[in-house]
């Protein structure tokens, strides 16, 4: 995902440069304004689409990093615990969100952390 983010970032920079070049050329050279506006709108539209992809990728990276930190903390906490020798209702309720019984052979436990 980070490679994709970097690629999108590079693409965004290139598109922003193209927009700036288009604007500068329009200021220097007399040209058909309908063609200029069409080209400008096309470039800006492509930029906005890539920006949305970039933002979604950045959000996904942040989510995964945060999730990884949560899991690392959870694992560290588990490693520091003593072995469980008997049922602990407090521990059970802190881990288990709900249990779904489909049949006597199909029982699923959903943990609070997913």
Is pLDDT of 114 > 80? no
The per-residue pLDDT for 74 is 85
Q: How many domains does the chain have?
A: 1
Whether residue 38 lies inside any domain: the answer is: yes
Alpha-carbon radius of gyration of the chain? 27
**Residue holding tokens 């959903």?**
110
pLDDT (0 to 100) of residue 79: 85
* 91 is a domain residue: no
What are the pLDDT digits (tens) for 11-63? 899 999 998 998 888 888 888 888 888 988 999 999 999 999 999 999 999 99
Does a structural domain hold residue 12? yes
> Is residue 112 included in any domain, yes or no?
no
> Which residues are CB-neighbours of 64 under 8 A, at least 6 positions away?
1
Domain span holding position 75: 2-83
* DSSP assignments along 65-87, one per residue: HHHHHHHHHHHHHHHHSPPP-S-
pTM of the model: 0.58
* Residue ranges of E strands in the chain: 96-103, 106-111
| Residues above pLDDT 90, as percent of the chain | 53
Please give the pLDDT value at position 3. 92
Residue 70 lies in a domain: yes
Query: For residue 97, is it within any domain?
Result: no
Q: What integer best gives the mean pLDDT of the chain?
A: 90
């Amino acid at each position: 995902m980070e490679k994709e983010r970097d690629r999108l970032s590079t693409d965004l920079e290139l598109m922003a440069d193209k927009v700036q070049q288009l604007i500068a050329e329009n200021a220097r050279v007399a040209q058909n304004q309908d063609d200029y506006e069409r080209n400008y709108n096309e470039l800006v539209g492509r930029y906005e689409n890539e920006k949305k992809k970039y933002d979604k990728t950045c959000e996904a990276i942040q989510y995964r990093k945060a999730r990884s930190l949560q899991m690392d903390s959870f694992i560290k906490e588990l490693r520091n615990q003593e072995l469980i020798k008997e049922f602990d209702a407090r521990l059970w309720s802190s881990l288990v969100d709900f249990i779904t019984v489909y049949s006597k052979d199909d029982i699923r436990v959903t943990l609070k952390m997913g």
